[in-house]
Amino acid sequence: MPFDQLLIDPADVAALERGVAVLGSGGGGDSRTAATLLRRRLSAGREVAVRPIADVPPDAWVVPVGVVGATAVFTEKLPGGHEFAAIVSAIERWTGTRADALVSIEIGGLNGMMPLVAACDLGLPTVDADLSGRGVPRLDQLTLAAADRPLAPAALAEPGGQVLVLGAGTPGDLERTARAFLSSAGGWAALALAPIPVRELAACSVPGSVSGALRLGRRVLDLGESPDPARVADATSGRVLSLGRIVDVTRRPGPRHHGRAGFAQGSVTLAEHASSALLRLEMENEYLLALRDGLVVATTPDVLTVLDRRTAVPIACDTIRAGMEVMVLQLAIAPFWTVPGRIDVLAPRAYGIDCDPVLLGAGR
C-alpha cells in the first residue's frame, strides 16, 4: 500500500521557512540558513518525503534529530555534511536498531528545517511530527520529557568531527552534558536521541507539525505586505495582541545556577498605536510573557511572535530593536501541552516567572 506522503519541493521551502520561523516564538535560531541548505539539496534532485505517523509501519523505528547550542553561530560555522550521518550511525550502533525514518526535535526555527536536510543526505523519510510543537530552549522541555520517556541514549556531533554518546541519564543530565560539550565544540552540534517505535510516537510527540508549519507559512506569505491585523488573526487562527512601535529593549545576563551562566533575558516595550497602552514582552531565548499596562494577557506555552509590521516577517529576540513597527501575535499551543502535568514543563514558572499560564481562548 503506498504511503500518503508529502514530498517537499523547492517551491515549498519559502512557506515552510516562514511557518517554522513563526512557531519559533522569537527563538529557535535562523531558519533562513537552513532553508538555503534544504533548497540547494532539493534543486540538485534530492528528495525528502514527510509521512504521517499513521502511514508509517508501526514496527518502524524513528530517530529524533536536530541542532543544539548557540544557533547564531550556525550561520558562521556551517555544517560540513557529516554531522547527522555520524550521530545516526552512533545511535544505530549503540542501540542495535536501524533508523527507518527521522523526526525533528523542534518545529520552531532552525530545527524545523535541518532534519529535512539530514533526511536528504541520509536518504531517509521524515515523520510529520516533532517533539516540541514550537521553539523551546532546553532538551528537558521536549515532549519526551513531559511524557516521562527517556531521551538517552543520545549522540552529539560537532563540525570538527568529535562525536559524544551519552548512554544513559535523565533529560536534565542530557541537557547539562550537552551544554558542557558545546562549550568546547564550537558552539553548536547535531543531536540524535534514542529511537522511538512508530506505534508509540503519537503519544509522545506533536503529530502533523511539519505539514502544519507549511500550511501556516503559506497563509502568512499570502497576506502580502502591511496586512490588516484582522486578516493576520484569521489566517493564523491566532490573536493580534498589539500593533505599535518598539520604544525600549533591555537585555540582561541570565541567572547563574551552580556556577553556570543561564540564558540571557530581556524585555521589549511597545507603545500601541490605537491607544496609550504599553505592551511589554518578557523574553529569554523566546518571547515568554506579554503584559498590557501591567496586566498579564498572554504567556508561554502559547506561541508569542513579533512580526514586522510591513513585511510580516518574524523578528527574533536577538534582533529586535527600538524603533521597529511591529505586530505581536499569539498562537495556541498544540493540545499535547494542555494535558495536566505537561503544561508545567513550558509554563512561565519553568522560566522563573511567577505567573500562571494565560492561554488563547482562556477568557483573558
DSSP assignment, residue 19? H
Would you state the pLDDT for residue 140?
96
Share of the chain above pLDDT 70, in %: 95
Distance between CA atoms of 217 and 345, rounded to whole angstroms? 27
Contact 112, 19 (CB under 8 A): yes
Q: What is the CA radius of gyration of the chain?
A: 19
Question: For the residues of 83-94, what is the DSSP string, one character each?
Answer: HHHHHHHHHHHH
The DSSP bridge partners found for residue 295 are 292
Evaluate if residue 102 carries a pLDDT over 60.
yes
Mean pLDDT for the stretch of residues 206-223: 97
pLDDT tens figures, 31-52: 999 999 999 999 999 989 999 9
Question: For the residues of 144-210, what is the DSSP string, one character each?
Answer: HHHTT----SEEEE-TTS-EEEE-S--HHHHHHHHHHHHTTTTSEEEEE---EEHHHHGGGSEETHH
Would you state the pLDDT for residue 254?
63
CA of 346: how far to CAs of 206, 267, 273, 298, in Å? 14, 19, 31, 13
The pairing of beta strand 126-130 with beta strand 49-51: parallel
Evaluate if residue 277 carries a pLDDT over 50.
yes
pLDDT tens figures, 138-165: 999 999 999 999 999 999 999 888 999 9
pLDDT tens figures, 291-321: 999 999 999 999 999 999 999 999 999 999 9
Would you state the pLDDT for residue 307?
98
Name the least confident of 46-50, 99-103, 129-133, 213-217. 46-50
Give, for 31, the enclosing helix (H) or strand (E).
helix 31-43
pTM over 0.85: yes
* 328 Cβ contact partners less than 8 Å away, ≥ 6 residues apart: 240, 241, 242, 243, 270, 279, 281, 290, 304, 305, 306, 307
The residue assigned the cell 548512554 is 167
Residue 267: all three cell numbers together: 524585555
The residue assigned the cell 527563538 is 27
Would you state the pLDDT for residue 350?
94
Evaluate if residue 2 carries a pLDDT over 50.
no
Whole-number average pLDDT of the chain: 92
N-terminal to C-terminal alpha carbon distance within the chain: 48
* 157 Cβ contact partners less than 8 Å away, ≥ 6 residues apart: 82, 83, 84, 86, 87, 90, 163, 164, 189, 190
Choose between 7 and 89: higher pLDDT: 89
Evaluate if residue 260 carries a pLDDT over 50.
no
3-state secondary structure of 186: coil
CA of 149: how far to CAs of 143, 286, 348, in Å? 9, 25, 22
Evaluate if residue 1 carries a pLDDT over 80.
no
Name the least confident of 68-77, 104-113, 238-247, 300-309. 68-77
Distance between CA atoms of 68 and 303, rounded to whole angstroms? 20
